[in-house]
Amino acid sequence: MPVDFSTIKADFPIFDRQINGKPIVYLDSGATSQKPRAVLDAMDNYYRNHSASVNRGAYQLAAEANDLVDDARASVARFIGAPSSNEIIFTKNATEAMNLFAYSWGHANLGEGDVVVISEMEHHANIVPWHMLTQSKGIELRWIPLTESGELDLSNLDALLDGAKLVSVTAMSNVLGTMNPIRRLADAAHAVGAIMMADGSQYVPHVPTNVTELGVDAMIFTGHKMLGPTGVGVLWGTTELLDAMPPFLGGGDMIMQVTKEGFTTNALPHKFEAGTPMVAEIIGLGAAVKYLENIGMDNVREHEVSLTAYALRSLKERFGDDITIHGPSEPASRGGLLSLVYKDVHPHDLSQVLDQANVCVRAGHHCAKPLMQLMGVNSTARASLHVYNDESDIDALADALESADDIFGGLGF
């Protein structure tokens, strides 16, 4: 059903706040999204009415807490089209989820000379764990290059996949907004006997996602970029893959039996969830999923494509060659992430000027230093969108950019 996105901002209490008498224009959802009242209420309800440790108690409060966590796990599984909620492993963020996978699956399945293929647009969370395995296990790390438009160059894919055991690529670049052909990569990986991991941190919060249709064997994402709380992330993997992986952490609820001679692991998902979980945060993520489902992810995607098109068009019309927006030029080929370079103004200086107008953007290398080097910059100012943004936010960004001339123009920029 069509959605009136102009009413959605009212669901987010933070936008009731003003700073120096001005409203907040929040354009940093690629770093962390704001939280709707439904998420805040769900977490508050747990602490006020159902607070107990899960997976251990047989009393009423514990049973209620168990039910809330189970419901959240089922909601997350449904949201990404996972065949079973037991395949949803909760971690504290996407970086931990990737490290869990790299440490557990990587140490069990990779040895000297084995090939892992990633791309030049990856977040450090999908680079550093594999560098660590090159040092400890002697694996070979190969990189899918990029085209000038910021898309994957797959012209030499067959050679890159020769001997590969894993392909691990972001579904959407956190710098360029590029949406990658994950199904094509998964099919190519499987054709050579490799498995496919997708980093869905920027993709899952904005695009209808079905892991079966994508053909991946594993995917990671995080709660705080999809209107949920910080402190909770997700590793999804097929049952076959997760069952074959050794545990990552020891103790707590990940065991079935412990003796002086050894231990046996619990069933999925508990095998990978040692210790007391982040109960309130899991419940909050479940509420965020239901909030997004109520909007409809097709509607979310349609709204962001339309808003991205408006941003690309209006910023270019207003600033011409003074502004560079990295990544694909076609809105339908990208997400709502706009990495900007404005004149010769340093991104950190630019973000501080925008902050004077309460326009919140992220400046930095966005945990993608190899990509920054490829782009020939040290950093960018990144504006990133979500469901609560509208054209007025883009206009506010443009007005704030224009006001930067008043400050930097006299300095020779």
* Residues labelled as active-site residues: 367
- Measure the CA–CA gap between 176 and 123, rounded to whole angstroms: 11
For residue 63, CA distances in Å to 47, 57, 411 come to 14, 7, 64
**What does 60-87 look like in DSSP terms, one character per residue?**
HHHHHHHHHHHHHHHHHHHHHT-S-GGG
Cβ neighbours of residue 135 closer than 8 Å, sequence gap 6 or more: none
Buried b (16+ CB within 10 A) or exposed e, 118-136: bbbbbbbbbbbbbeebeee
Residue 52: half-sphere exposure toward Cβ, Cα within 13 Å:
17
CA distance 285 to 80: 13
Write the burial class of residue 204 (CB in 10 Å: 0-12 exposed, 13-18 middle, 19+ buried).
Answer: buried
Burial class (CB in 10 A: 0-12, 13-18, 19+), 263: middle
Q: What is the DSSP letter of 263?
A: E
Which token pair is 358?
């309460």
Q: Are 199 and 122 in contact (CB under 8 A)?
A: yes
Upper half-sphere CA count for residue 105 (Cβ side, 13 Å): 27
**How many other CB atoms are there within 10 angstroms of residue 225's CB atom?**
27
What phi-psi label fits residue 133: left (phi over 0), alpha (psi between -120 and 50 degrees) or beta? alpha
Using CA atoms, how far apart are residues 291 and 20, in angstroms rounded to an integer?
A: 31
**To 5 degrees, how large is the angle CA 16–CA 17–CA 22?**
110
